[in-house]
Structure 1
Amino acid sequence: MRIAAERHGDPPGRASSPLARGGAVLVAGALPVLAFPEPSLWWLACVALVPWLLILRTAPSGRRAVFEGWLGGTGFVIAMHHWLTPNLHVFILVLGALLGLLWAPWGWLVRTLLGGSPSAARGVAAVLAVPSGWLMIELVRSWEGLGGPWGLIGASQWQVDPALRLASVGGVWLLSLLIVAVNTALVLLATSRAARLPALAGLLVVALAVPAAWLWAPRPDPSGRTRVAVVQPGVVNGIESIERRFDRGEELTRSLAGRDVDVDLVVWAESSVGADLIRRPDLAGRLAALSGDVGAPLLVNVDARRADRPGIYKSSMLVGPEGLTGGRYDKIRLVPFGEYVPARALLGWVTSVGEAAEEDRRRGTRPVVLELPGDGLRIGPLVCFETAFPDMSRRLVRDGAQLLVAQSATSTFQGSWAPEQHASLAALRAAESGRPMVHSTLTGVSAVYDAEGEGIGRALGTKESTTAVYEVPLAEGSTLYARFGDWPVYGALAVLAGLSAVAGARTFRPSAQGPGAPRARTVRGSSGRPRD
């Protein structure tokens, strides 16, 4: 028992109480959230997992490690989504506990590979498998039904130039892998002399990945410029807020007509139009007149019951001086509880304790690339939550989009970390795809990024009601991530499959003494005790 405690549990005489350990695990699990906006302590991500890993490696049993993996995951989810509390109320705890289960097997994996004093071989396995296990968690929870890929640890590096270059190679997935690998290597350096060499090798690989990506990864090639105006009406309250928001957007847009600088596209935010434009030709006429006054098409977002099919859709639509251009994109991926209630028959009670959707929105069927009349610029629209999904922007670029445009609304979460976190995702999507991206919101934060993820001009904060024109450099060519997609995910799967195969081979390896092997003879001494 003493040997087992020294290998995997707390050192003899220093065992902490389960309650104290549980509290420490909750805090350790929540710690990485500080690397994201609004704190934006990006550098913290490289060490933020170390406390949690140190606790997991000293778990007194595998069952305890599973429990502490779940508990730390619960802390991470609640901290990452704490701004949802006013909407979900007590259900935020349920959400955290359910999603936290994804980290339970990871806790066991960490204890198995980092517990005690790992050998060099176990150190190599840890540097490869612990990050791979974390990436599998991110992959599973990226499913829309589980909340989508919000808070992927790689996304914390959205304003770090070398990280954005790495994102162009392997997307946010590669960033997550490398960040967790660094944390794992630091734990090995601190706890095992035998595993220091693989730990140092892991850190060296990460360190070399940055200049390699900087020097050899293809960069987007300049291909002209376009001027995009972002209209941010700001917070509008009251019973008739939808109409007032439209009026304010109209007023701000009209102000563009008196400027010396021409614009090529005007972008309104998500839910900027609250009625179907086919049913309301008066609204469509006002938008067409605006387009004519400004001399540019308007990309609006309609959140309304459609006239041509049943249900409510969120749709990105182009309006020119002649009216609707015929281009339309219906949002595909919806926000769980915010725009639909999963398994409503079972979970419909959530609407009585929070601000969940009273009626499910309907989904579109496919991504759509819209072409601007006149200059033929091809834009790839995304609506709100969809900017969190790397595959969606990649698909639009592969379909020919030259400019990514996100229409969003985080009005419900004013004063929280959500607006900054949401805007930061556009930088990653731009860097991954090698295309500039416009992130337009109702109430901020609105921002524009070039094809390498660098910010253009000034972002519009959550207290502003204004419009801004951005000179956006266009780009062509293809990033490695756009070409090869989620290859870090497949690599992580291969690592875990290989580790499982090795572990299985060792478990089921035949004994050296088969059925026909001679048995060792026991010699008894004069005292009658067995003697070898």
Structure 2
Amino acid sequence: MPLRSLLAIAAGLCLWLAQPGPQIWPLALVGVAGLAYATAGVDRLRDGFLLGVLTGLAAFVPTLKWSGIYVGPMPWLALSASQAVYVGFLGIALALLQRDGRVRVLLGAASWVAMEWARSTTPFGGFPWARLAFSQAESPLVHLASVAGAPGVTFVVAVIGGALALAAQRWQARRWGAGLVPVAAAGALVLVSIPWPTPTDGKPLTVAAIQGNVPAPGLDFNAERRAVLDNHAGLTRQVASDAAAGRGPSPDVVFWPENSSDIDPLRNPDAQQVITDAVRAAGVPTVVGAVLQEPAPNVSNTSLLYGPDGQLLDRYVKQHPVPFAEYIPYRSFFRMFTDKVDLVRNDFTAGTESTVFQIPTRSGTVPTAPVICFEVAYDSLVRQPVQDGAQLLLVPTNNATFGYSDESVQQLAISKLRAIETGRSVVHISTVGVSALIRPDGTVTQQSGLFTRDALVDDVTLRTEQTLATKVGRIPEVALSVFAALGMLVAWRSRRASRVPSRASRSARPGSDEKEADDRS
């Protein structure tokens, strides 16, 4: 166990280094291989759990460090530990499936998908951050997202990692030729993904994504809410002025980020006037991220669509507010552990449905789906509006509360995968960065820096054809999870059956009852 534990920790560190920030994506394959190798031949399931937890902690503690920048270590470590528990259950599955000592490549990979499904849905709606798939935004494997979505990319990454572990086992046994077989299969998967088609043709639309910046990073980014609003309004007017003077392209639509107006414009005439003046100066439809003081006493995180004349045309309310950030479940209970829960004074209310804005532009109506901030990490919240006809994805976000951490590039990597998965351009716009315009093949045409004032103005591609991943939806994830569950059921029954004869043989030997009693004590 000491050597297995060291290997499990090393595997977790590899998984961290594969995530955006360090972004050494091949290490995700090594990390999966390390956990598979460490759990092969483990007899006690609790040892498998321990190895999985060690891997999870080594991966999540550094990856999620941004969650404690301004609120202290307790929320950060609690979040990391909760996510590590899921990897612990994966360790149980791998120990059960690999009890005979041989790495199970396909069943192990399916177990990764099942674990990430559980982590993405429970508790409080789940936390699907730092999945294997999201580490592959710069990898050729990300192209496979158009086939089976993020779960499909996770499966392929885990298959390759398992194949490497199997090869290591065979080489350890000096079966050199046999070890080359899984390596060749893994290499073939990578080679196939490189030329995988990701179409980018379609009708162009000129967009302006406004990154107005905030007075200062941190939890008090909205202490000067009017300054934040004025930043975005002023930069919008500048883009309009540059276009009128021929110094820049003229946008068909303008996008503001989440929290660009934390002053409710529907209840505050001054804020409404600032937005209306900016929209009319641009002369095109504008989507504004606003916090509305409704339904009282709660609030709503919304994207508001304004017409060129400044009239409100439509709204979208964030469907998945972030627990412990936008609302506090069981507030009185968690207050016993930390008073930081009271930093969230008013809980955000969840929206009830996805929305596709029908944005009227000079070249026709553009169906556009807003997916606010962390919602981009949830498969169904991105897939549903595309199934409903969205031709463009808008990801308005606010990263001011995470400082100069890797959180912003981790989120941007998810948007890149979503572009390929859905075959849609993505306008990823933050108050402070990193913002980007992303093509349907995941490539970035423009990108901003952190805590800068910037406007991204360029053409994006509108597409109507749906990818296979969008059409099949959750089927691959469900099928792989069921496959893993069946494999574990068979392995469990085999494990129980193998122990019955063992107990019977011990009972048949003289003095076995006394020895068994001593062993138990």
TM-score, structure 1 normalization: 0.83
In 2, the alpha carbon distance for the partners of 1:186 and 1:393 equals 33
The alignment partner of 1:266 has SS state of strand
Query: 1:527 maps to which residue?
Result: none
Aligned-pair identity in percent equals: 27
Aligned partner (choices 60, 79, 96) of residue 80 of structure 2? 96
The one-letter amino acid of 1:396's match is P
Report the CA distance between 1:302 and its aligned residue.
0.7
Query: 2:138 maps to which residue?
Result: 159
Change beyond 3 A, Cα 1:56–1:359: same
The one-letter amino acid of 2:74's match is V
Aligned residue runs from structure 1 range 276-355, under 5 A: 276-306=264-294, 310-349=297-336, 352-353=339-340
Question: Unaligned stretches of 5+ in structure 1?
Answer: 1-9, 11-15, 514-532
The one-letter amino acid of 1:427's match is K
Change beyond 3 A, Cα 1:456–1:323: same
Report the CA distance between 1:209 and its aligned residue.
4.4
Report the CA distance between 1:245 and its aligned residue.
0.8
Change beyond 3 A, Cα 1:469–1:398: same
Query: 2:360 maps to which residue?
Result: 373
The alignment partner of 2:202 has SS state of strand
Find out whether 1:391 has 2:380 as its counterpart: yes
Contact 2:436 2:456 in 1 (8 A): no
Q: Give per-residue Cα distances to partners, 1:277-324, cap 9 Å, x unaligned.
A: 221233223322222222211110111313x76520011001223323
Report the CA distance between 1:182 and its aligned residue.
1.5
Query: 2:438 maps to which residue?
Result: 449
The alignment partner of 1:439 has SS state of strand
The alignment partner of 2:266 has SS state of coil
Aligned residue runs from structure 1 range 495-510, under 5 A: 495-503=483-491, 506=494
Contact 2:121 2:127 in 1 (8 A): yes
The one-letter amino acid of 2:317's match is D
Once the two structures are overlaid, the 10-residue window that deviates more, 54-63 or 222-231, is: 54-63
Q: Give per-residue Cα distances to partners, 1:402-446, cap 9 Å, x unaligned.
A: 110011011111211111111111111111001100000011100
Query: 2:93 maps to which residue?
Result: 109
Report the CA distance between 1:171 and its aligned residue.
0.9
Aligned partner (choices 191, 194, 202) of residue 223 of structure 1? 202
Report the CA distance between 1:73 and its aligned residue.
1.9
The alignment partner of 1:152 has SS state of coil
Query: 2:473 maps to which residue?
Result: 485
Change beyond 3 A, Cα 1:286–1:189: same
Q: Give per-residue Cα distances to partners, 1:153-180, cap 9 Å, x unaligned.
A: 11111123x3232000011111111111
Once the two structures are overlaid, the 10-residue window that deviates more, 476-485 or 279-288, is: 279-288
Report the CA distance between 1:211 and its aligned residue.
5.7
Change beyond 3 A, Cα 1:364–1:197: farther
Question: Unaligned stretches of 5+ in structure 2?
Answer: 502-521
The structure having more radius of gyration, on CA atoms, is 1
In 2, the alpha carbon distance for the partners of 1:476 and 1:466 equals 30
Aligned partner (choices 162, 165, 173) of residue 151 of structure 2? 173
In 1, the alpha carbon distance for the partners of 2:454 and 2:418 equals 25
Contact 1:337 1:356 in 2 (8 A): no
In 1, the alpha carbon distance for the partners of 2:7 and 2:186 equals 29
Contact 2:327 2:346 in 1 (8 A): yes
Report the CA distance between 1:506 and its aligned residue.
4.5
The one-letter amino acid of 1:142's match is S
In 1, the alpha carbon distance for the partners of 2:388 and 2:164 equals 42
Query: 2:117 maps to which residue?
Result: 139
The alignment partner of 2:86 has SS state of helix
Report the CA distance between 1:508 and its aligned residue.
7.9
Report the CA distance between 1:200 and its aligned residue.
5.7
Contact 1:290 1:321 in 2 (8 A): no
Find out whether 1:130 has 2:108 as its counterpart: yes
In 2, the alpha carbon distance for the partners of 1:251 and 1:419 equals 24
Aligned residue runs from structure 1 range 15-30, under 5 A: 16=2, 22=5, 25-30=8-13
Report the CA distance between 1:491 and its aligned residue.
2.8
The alignment partner of 1:48 has SS state of helix
The one-letter amino acid of 1:440's match is I
Once the two structures are overlaid, the 10-residue window that deviates more, 126-135 or 104-113, is: 104-113
RMSD over aligned Cα atoms: 2.9
In 1, the alpha carbon distance for the partners of 2:190 and 2:38 equals 30
The alignment partner of 1:476 has SS state of coil
Report the CA distance between 1:456 and its aligned residue.
1.4
Once the two structures are overlaid, the 10-residue window that deviates more, 192-201 or 23-32, is: 192-201
Change beyond 3 A, Cα 1:411–1:49: same
In 2, the alpha carbon distance for the partners of 1:33 and 1:164 equals 18
The one-letter amino acid of 2:377's match is A
TM-score, structure 2 normalization: 0.85
Query: 2:263 maps to which residue?
Result: 275
Change beyond 3 A, Cα 1:338–1:505: closer
The alignment partner of 2:456 has SS state of strand
